[in-house]
Structure 1
Amino acid sequence: MLPLAIAVVLTAVAALRWSGEVHPHRIVLFARRQALTVTPGGEPVVRHYLRLTRMWRSAGLVAGVFFPYVPSVPFSDLPFFADVMPPPGLWLLYTMPLDPFSGWFLGVLGAEPALGSRRSPGPGAAVTGGPPRLISPPATCFLYGGLALSGVSVLSWLGVALSGRPAPDLVWSVAGAAVSAGSLLLIRSLRSRPIPVAAADVVEAVLATRSRSAHVLATGSAVFVLSWCRPNVLLPDWGDLLMTPLTMALWIGAFLVGTQPWAITVGTPPPSSPPSPPAPPAADPDASPQTDAEAGEAAPTRP
């Protein structure tokens, strides 16, 4: 219990440590990646988003660092715990493919419901032209590539289990596929959330935060699936040698695609009031006034 308690405490400390103020350079970096002009009205939106996501992601990263070491500490070697039985669910930590990146990405997933729950209630502004395009086409390829990879992993481990051989990673492949599908659902929810009725710069900041989350979810899910679902079950013995450079290439590609600047394209909101009629043309001061007789002569006569 002591190693588990230490890991929990360190995770909580990391969440509290990184929930403070956001440094201005992080706001500048966010604006550069999203091609956003941060205004005084939109800065609180960006600052709140960066603070909350940093807290969740830091907690997940620390959990991914320390929780894998919990099962490696024998309970019998700990003081005051020689006669204490380990918790019944501790076997999950023995087999869980948790690492710093997967813990960080689980923090990414946890931050999104927290952000959605803090959205101010009320109707949103109607936007013409369809929902906003939050992610770039390369990030979309990463998203669906991760889904396909998770499906292959689940089917391969399922085939191993049906053949009567042990399939210890089947449960984690299913969990990884669920995380990949959850990433897709979260991205769709980011697109379908109502856009708040606010000033234009605030709306742009809100859409920029949603786009940043969508890019992280899309690119990170593919890397998470590759490290979590163990798809090398279909490969021969030298599969580990092939998976190492493939994982590194996927990491680099996901980072480049996820941090590439991407400006939001969205329809323009309809006007709140009907447009005013055009003003009548101004009279020419050089033109001579037209008399009633001239007006009568100029008017066409009826037969």
Structure 2
Amino acid sequence: MVLLGVALVAFIALCVWFAVSVAGAPVARPRLERFARRHQLVVTATNGNQVIRYLATTRRWRATGLAAGLIASIGWSLAHGVFQVYFLVLFAGWFAGALIAEVRLAPAPFGPRRAASLVPRQPRAYLPRTVWALLPAAGAISLAVGAASAVGALARRPVGLGAAPLFAVAMLVFVVVRTVQHRVLHRPQPVAEPDVLAADDAIRSRSLHVLAGGGTTLVLYCVLGQLAALAPALPGAATEVIEVVNFLGIFAVPLLGWAVAVSPWPVRRSAGPASA
């Protein structure tokens, strides 16, 4: 038991060291170039530090969240007498770090005279309509499965105990992520040089893509758990369909989230002279 405790402390220290090392490392040039390529952004001497600061901030918090998720995963498994790493816990930790990064991220620097653009910002300028609709669609699916589970429970069908907690988690993720998405979308934007505004738009677009992909992934994973909890209350044929959906979903859901998060998108926002 003593050796296990020492090993756990050493592992936690290793995770902390990993997070600190990643957070303190400079942003590599290939990462900066990849970001610019995805958004067709021309990196200049004026907006370069702005993009680098964004990449460094998001990497720092994501690495911290990943390390926290790894510690939680190992701690949970050891508490139950096994040594196992849970991918979903790792991803949840990473995504929690991504959310914190977006909340803490400062807007582009204002000039001597503080003025903000009043040009209305629409989601379709920063990401495809389908991507913006993914999270609400996943939330609607969770709501439908939750309603079916509630009906089954009221009819005294053998609905699994995890149905209600998973539905609650899915709704919590939906509300939090959607709130952060709107915060990113409507974050104040200064009246500045075109290259600075272009970088700010690219940062906004990348953030919205990551939030859409990660949030949808977490909600759909909750849906898979909801379906598994609902399966015992359904006829045999429906149970078999749910088993197939869950098997495919384990692989398809993270692939969908990854594809959304890394997809390129040139910002298509019309400029305007208004300011305040």
TM category (shorter chain) comes to: 0.7 to 0.9
Q: Which residue of 1 aligns with 2:235?
A: none
Structure-2 change in CA distance of 1:98 and 1:193 (3 Å):
same
Letter in 2 for 1:72: S
> Aligned-pair distance for 1:205?
0.8
| Residue 234 (structure 2) aligns with | none
For structure 1, which runs of at least 5 residues remain unmatched after alignment?
Answer: 77-95, 273-303
Residue 72 (str. 1) matches residue 62 (str. 2): no
Give SS of 1:194's match.
coil
Spell out the pairing of 1:109-124 with structure 2 (5 A cutoff): 109-116=99-106, 123-124=114-115
TM-score between the two structures when normalised by the length of structure 1: 0.71
1:141 aligned counterpart, secondary structure? helix
- What residue is the counterpart of 2:207 in the other structure? 213
Shift of 1:222: 1.4
**Aligned Cα root-mean-square deviation (Å):** 3.2
The 5 A counterparts of 1:187-266 are 187-229=181-223, 230-232=225-227, 233-235=229-231, 236-238=238-240, 239-266=242-269
How far is the alpha carbon of 1:174 from its aligned partner?
0.9
Larger Rg: 1
CA distance in structure 2 between the partners assigned to 1:183 and 1:66 by the alignment = 23
> Are residues 1:126 and 2:131 paired?
no
- In 1: Cα distance, 2:88 partner to 2:252 partner: 20
1:119 CA displacement? 6.3
> Aligned residues, how many?
252
Residues 36, 205 of structure 1: 8 Å contact kept: yes
Matches within 5 A, 1:100-111: 100-111=90-101
Match of 1:150 in 2: 142
Distance in 2 between the 1:150 and 1:6 partners?
Answer: 39
Q: Deviations over 1:208-241 (max 9, x none)?
A: 1111010111122111112235231334543333
Between the aligned residues of both structures, percent identity stands at 27
Classify 1:103/1:74 alpha carbon distance in 2 versus 1 (closer, same or farther; 3 Å): closer
Does residue 136 (structure 1) correspond to residue 165 (structure 2)? The answer is no
Per mean C-alpha deviation after superposition, the further-off stretch among 34-43 and 170-179 is 170-179
Cα deviation for residue 22 of structure 1 reads: 0.4
Partner of 1:15: 19
The runs of 5 or more residues in structure 2 that have no matched partner are 232-237
The one-letter code matched in structure 1 to 2:144 is V
Name which of 180, 189, 192 aligns with 1:186. Answer: 180
Deviation at 1:195, TM superposition (A): 0.6
Q: Equivalences for 1:274-285 in 2 at 5 Å? A: none
Is the CA contact 1:33–1:260 (under 8 Å) kept in the aligned structure 2?
yes
How much has 1:120 moved relative to structure 2?
5.2
How far apart in 1 are the matches of 2:204 and 2:12? 30
The residue number in structure 1 matching 2:35 is: 30
Between Structure 1 and Structure 2, which shows a larger proportion of helix residues? 2
